[in-house]
Structures are given as C-alpha cells and as structure tokens.
Amino acid sequence: MAERSFVEEVKKLKLGAGEVFRGEGILAVTKALLESGVAYVAGYQGAPISHLMDVLADAQDILSEYGIRFENSASEATAAATLAASVNYPLRGAATFKSTVGTNVASDALANLASGGVTGGALIVVGEDYGEGSSIMQERSHAFAMKSQIWLLDPRPDLPSIVGAVKHGFELSEASNTPVMLQLRIRACHVHGEFIAGDNRAPDFTLKQALEQPQRDTSRIVLPPASFLHEQEKIRDRWPAAVRYIEQNRLNEFFNETGDDIGIVVQGGSYNTLMRVLERLGVADVYGNTSVPLYVMNVAYPVIDREMLRFCRNKRAVLMVEEGQPNFIEQNVATLLRQADSPAALHGKDMLPMAGEYTAAALMKGVRTFLEQYGRLRPIAKPATAQPRKVIPLKALDESVQGRPPGFCTGCPERPIFTAMKLVERELGPHHVSADIGCHLFSILPPFNLGNTTMGYGLGAAGAAALNAPAGKRAISVMGDGGFWHNGLTSGVANAVFNRSDNLTIVVDNSYTSATGGQDILSSTAVNKTRDTGHAIEDAVRGVGVKWVRTLERTYDVAGMRDTLRQALTTQEKGPKVLIAQSECMLNRQRREKPLQRKAVAEGKRVVRERFGVDADTCTGDHSCIRLSGCPSLSIKPNPDPLRQDPVATVLDSCVGCGLCGEVSHAAVLCPSFYKAQIVTNPSRWDRVKRRMSLAVIGALQRREARARSRYAF
C-alpha cells in the first residue's frame, strides 16, 4: 500500500495532442514516457522518485493499453540491467531509482550497458537526492556519468523543460548509441505547472517482436577484444554524435547572450533558484528576463566546447554555478578556457560555497559578490551614524533551539524491538550492532543509542561479517524486509550461512518497504492485483540453510521480544541466528483504517478507538517509560500533587493505542500507572447504560473513601 494513490491523477495521462496537462513534475515524466513510445519501464523506489514508481503502478491499465511492460524491480541493479533489452533491439526503455545510493547499486549494470552501447533509446531517470533535505551521503551522480561516458541531462525545473528532456533523452541515446541519465532534484519532481500534451505512442518496435526475432551481436557484449574497442568507440564515434545532437537541437540555452561583458553559467536544475536571486538583486524580472547573460546547461555532461567558448567570447568574467563537490564542470571549463587562450576570468567555488546545496541564501551571497566585483551592483553601504549601533548579542542556534533528531512515528512497530534490545542490554551488557538503511536506522539516535555502523541498503548482516569470531558476545545486525529482499538475503543471510557465522540478524518485517513509501514487496500480506505477494521471509531464510529461526508476529510484545533476544544471544547452538519481527507499519495501517473510521462515524455507526493514559496520582515521575520508548505521544505535565515537584508522564491526543507504553512498563517492571481506555463514538444504548453504572460504582467508592479519610482528619 503506497503512501499516496495517484488513481485520479493518472487519468490525465490519457490527454491527447493540443490539450493542456496540469500537474506535478513526476506525473509529467510519466506522460512524456508515454508520448515517447517507450516499450518498458523498470525501477526501484526511493526519494525523490518514489512517486514515479507509484504513478506507474497506478497507471497499469494505461500502460498495458500501449503494450508497455512495467516492473517493480527487486533492486536498482535489476532495474538498470533491464535496459539490456535496448542493446540489440530498437526498443525504448527507461529505468528509475534514487541516486547516488541507487546508482551505486546499479553501477555494474550501468558500466556494462555504457560499454557495449545501445540500439534503442535507454533513459535512466535518477532522483538526485543531494542537499539539506537528503537522507543519504552527500555525493553527485555526475561522477558516474563521467566515469562511464553516460550523457547527463539536468533540465530546468519546469514541466515543458522536463518533458522535453525525457523526449530528447531517448533521441540523444539513439543518435549516439549511448544510455542517457536524466537527473531530477526533489524540487523538480514536485514542481507544479502545465504543458501542451501530445498523443501517446505505442512502441515502434515491440517486446513481442524482439522475442519472436531474437538478435545477437557479439561486438556489443563486454568481452575481450570487443571491450577494448568500446572505449575507443565512445570517444571516436558516440561522443561526437552526442555533441552534434545537443548542438543541433539546442538542448542548452542562451539568455541575453551578448547583453554584457560578464555572464553566468548554470546547471539547468539550479536555474529557478538563480533567477530568484537575480530578481532579488534587481538584475532580472519575475518573467525570466535578465540583464546578465546566462548559459543554461540542460546537458551537464558532456560540456559542449563550442557553446562554452562562444558564451565566454568577449566576456571579462564568467561565474560557474555548479552545485556540489567536486567541481567537475568548473575544472572542465577552466581547462577549456586555458587551452583556448581565452581572457575571460572564471569564478565559481572561490565565490560560492565549496559544497552543500545551493539554496537561494547561499547563491545570493556568491552572486552578489560576483556582480559587485565587476561593477554591476553597488556594495551595500554601511549606515553613517554618529554613535555605533547597539548590537544585541544573539546566542548560537544550537544554544537557543533544542535539537530534534528524527525518530520513529507514533505507534511504530519497530520501536518496541529496540526497547527490548535496551532491556537485554541491561542484563548482558552492550553488543556491537550493525545497522541498515530504513526507518530502523533511527535507533542509533536517542533514546535508544543503538547502532555502530551502516554500510548500505540490505547490508546490515554483511556489515557484521568481520565480527564473527569466538568471543563472549555475539554481534547483532538489523535489516528491514525491503532491504532483505533488495540485497540482504544473499549478501547477508546466505553469506552468514556460507561462512558459518554465529551472529544474530534481526529482520524487521512490517509488510511494506515503509521507508520508501509503503510499496509492496514479496513478503507483503496485502493482495496485489499485478504482483505476487505473501511469500514468508522465514521460508526464504530456511531455504538458504539457517537452522535457528524465530518469528514473532507481534513486535509490541516487549517481554516476548526481550526473551527471544536473550535466547538468541545466549544459546549454545552454533550457526547464524535470524529473528523475524513482524508488525504492520503503523502509518500504512492508519492510512487504511482512519478513512474507514471517518466513514463509519459519518454514517452513525458505533466506532471504538483505544488509547492509553497515565494515572497522575500513581505516576512516580521516574520517566523510565519515556527513556525506554521515546514515543512522540508520551510527554510530561506538572504534577497535580503539590507535595511532589517532579512532573508526571502524560499521553497526548496523538496516541494511536498501540499499547507499547503499557508493554514497556510491564516488561521493564516500571510502574502500574498506565491504563487503557476506549473512546466510543456513536455509543449504543448498552454503552450508555454501562457508562452510567460505571460512574455510579466509582462515585460510591469515592464517597466511601472520602468518609474513611474524614474519620482521621484533625
């Protein structure tokens, strides 16, 4: 169950020539694929292109109408390898995944694809997850494009440019027999706009024709001596062909090229931010008209030498706006200008930040410095005052604002797993924990502070492989169900069996790839009309030779989780141990149940919701429940007892009734202050009678207690 349905939006994919398409960037990419005559699409979800996979999944009927094959690939490597269909056949195909982690996984397939080259157009849509909102290491896709000579498109973030880049990407790929990357930053994926649609096209050459007319060309297979010739072919034939296509079709854009003797070169993806900065500085307007000449590189790689030299001709200075590090384009342009003996001064990282996302604030400072240095802006004059202005000292942000590290959602079924691990840690001491990519990685932060390393998606068990040595303790590794099917079964569990590991692997099975948006996988319990689900992780684990396997079907059973963990870490049985912890992702559960509850309430039906609370009179103010849980719905409030100073725990209205707080109290033998309550909407007559009876009994008991106390009152 994906976090968002595009069932209504995908209806726009049926628009024909001349009609206006309005919507989100991701949806526009799908429409462009349909208009390009694509034959197959494959991919693996991940920010910021998860929604592209969701759109394609919801558009199955439309895709099948045109004979287009769509696959939710097992990994990014699978998605990239799917493009092999375009090597021998004139089939247009696309693959999509998150970069750079997805590109890392797919790099072997991409390198082979780029070496042998393609016959049909092969387009790789990569979600460029770089910057302050990213959840991964800060690297760029540019290096992969350069390494393998894959042409890299970086279109301006508006719908006509994005759609044009998709269509030109296929044509550029076919013109140069080279796969093409199209990188989309998160703002481009979710930008809204409009463009004039075209007609959808069925593939000119179909998958059925390819199967019925198999072809092979040994010169396209990466095997000596052909592989030695591929490198020469890239430089001698494919590169010049790509340059010709880029120039002839004017993929890169010039704005006010000869309007001044200074200029700015910018990657297409940073164009909107730059224009906002220029408008704020008074040298451009909101319609994109600029007095400063611009060269917009919608093709980030390769650099088109003739266009770059043409732009820099008769210019005193040029500013290169290249987000990220290393500054590949700036180095390329510097070499180009030096070899051409150009007098233009090149600026870039000397005025702009060396690394990090080029936000409007970051660009503002650097562009202002550039324009001021060359006389296009007056330096900001300091106010002339007789007396120096009194400056109120401000504290550093980290001293005045409390840090809020990311954490598990309210009711997350993964939280009790790490609560149980902390309880076991009290008994057996700390263990080395090899973490993995996914929601469970939040366990490295407070209040759990678990996790020593993380090496990649599905590599939790592999990250503990070296720590398989005789010792008094076993290493613990963690991976999610998504990571398990992506990479963990072979590189982690099977590897542990083969190498006779004695460590423990915990597989968090919450029925979806929750971290990427709730997409179905092999072990999903949901019935999927177009995919085969319901395959148990335990069967797969036993299938590769693991003997010690335990499955807990309810992770909220903290005591049971604690006892199973203790057993896994202390048993005398040798060999790899796998604990499968099952509970559905609470976000997906709430997305499914809340609309049904709202509908039932609106229809006047009886609806019962459970939530937990804390008896303030019983709570001791110890707050161990908070330290062992970290649930966002657990907070504190002033103590109602005037004789006690410590604040007491309280449960906020965001509680979803998962019961973890009570389970923690029981498993950790903390306190009996937690209680469970039922909130009844549209109560029945019997509910009202029970309520009155309950109030009567409680009132009678309270009055009796009050009378007893009054006897001892002085």
- Could you tell me if residue 288 is inside a domain? yes
Share of the chain above pLDDT 90, in %: 60
Distance CA 56, CA 161 (A): 21
Q: Is residue 184 located within the same domain as residue 235? A: yes
Count of the separate structural domains present in the chain: 4
Question: Per-residue pLDDT averaged across 423-445, rounded?
Answer: 92
Q: Is residue 350 located within the same domain as residue 449? A: no
Output 6 or 365, whichever has higher pLDDT: 365
Of the given ranges (104-118, 161-175, 665-679), which has the lowest mean pLDDT? 665-679
Tell me how far CA of residue 655 lies from CA of 89, 551, 555, 610, in angstroms.
56, 27, 17, 9
Q: Is residue 64 located within the same domain as residue 195? A: yes
Q: Is residue 501 located within the same domain as residue 621? A: no
- Tell me: pLDDT of 527 over 90: no
What pLDDT is attached to residue 313?
94
Which pLDDT tens digit goes with each residue over 611-669?
Answer: 888 888 888 887 877 877 888 888 889 988 888 888 988 888 888 888 787 777 666 56
Q: What is the pTM of this model?
A: 0.86
Tell me the HSE value of 154 on the side-chain side, using a 13 A CA sphere.
Answer: 25
For 650, other C-beta atoms within 10 Å of its C-beta total: 15
Q: Is residue 455 located within the same domain as residue 313? A: no
Q: Is residue 154 located within the same domain as residue 265? A: no
- Could you tell me if residue 241 is inside a domain? yes
Share of the chain above pLDDT 70, in %: 96
What pLDDT is attached to residue 465?
93
Q: Is residue 51 located within the same domain as residue 91? A: yes
Distance CA 641, CA 487 (A): 55
Mark which of 222, 248, 274 sits at the end of a domain: 248
- Could you tell me if residue 389 is inside a domain? no
Range of the domain at 434: 415-588
Tokens coding 583: 């509970």
pLDDT tier at 382 (50, 70, 90 boundaries)? Answer: low
What pLDDT is attached to residue 119?
96
Mark which of 560, 588, 616 sits at the end of a domain: 588
Question: Per-residue pLDDT averaged across 413-426, rounded?
Answer: 92
Q: Is residue 219 located within the same domain as residue 317? A: no
DSSP string covering 87-105, please?
Answer: HHS---EEEEEEETHHHHH
Q: Is residue 198 located within the same domain as residue 58? A: yes
Helix axes of 660-667 and 415-428: crossing angle, nearest 10 degrees: 10
Q: Is residue 263 located within the same domain as residue 207? A: no
Task: List, in sequence order, the alpha helices (H) in 177-315.
Answer: 186-190, 207-212, 226-233, 239-248, 271-280, 305-312
Which pLDDT tens digit goes with each residue over 124-178?
Answer: 999 988 877 777 778 889 999 999 999 999 999 999 999 999 999 999 999 999 9
For residue 538, what are the contacts with CB-CB under 8 A and spacing of at least 6?
549, 551, 580
- Could you tell me if residue 473 is inside a domain? yes
Helix (H, G, I), strand (E, B) or coil at 669: coil
- Could you tell me if residue 113 is inside a domain? yes
pLDDT tier at 576 (50, 70, 90 boundaries)? Answer: very high
Q: 69 near 40, Cβ under 8 Å?
A: yes
Q: Is residue 319 located within the same domain as residue 432? A: no
Q: At 283, which CATH number?
A: 3.40.50.920
Mark which of 342, 373, 404 sits at the end of a domain: 373
Which pLDDT tens digit goes with each residue over 187-229?
Answer: 888 899 999 999 999 999 999 999 999 999 989 889 889 889 9
Q: At 76, which CATH number?
A: 3.40.50.970
- Could you tell me if residue 595 is inside a domain? no
Distance CA 220, CA 240 (A): 19
- Tell me: pLDDT of 370 over 80: yes
Q: At 662, which CATH number?
A: 3.30.70
- Could you tell me if residue 407 is inside a domain? no
Q: Is residue 298 located within the same domain as residue 442? A: no
- Could you tell me if residue 75 is inside a domain? yes
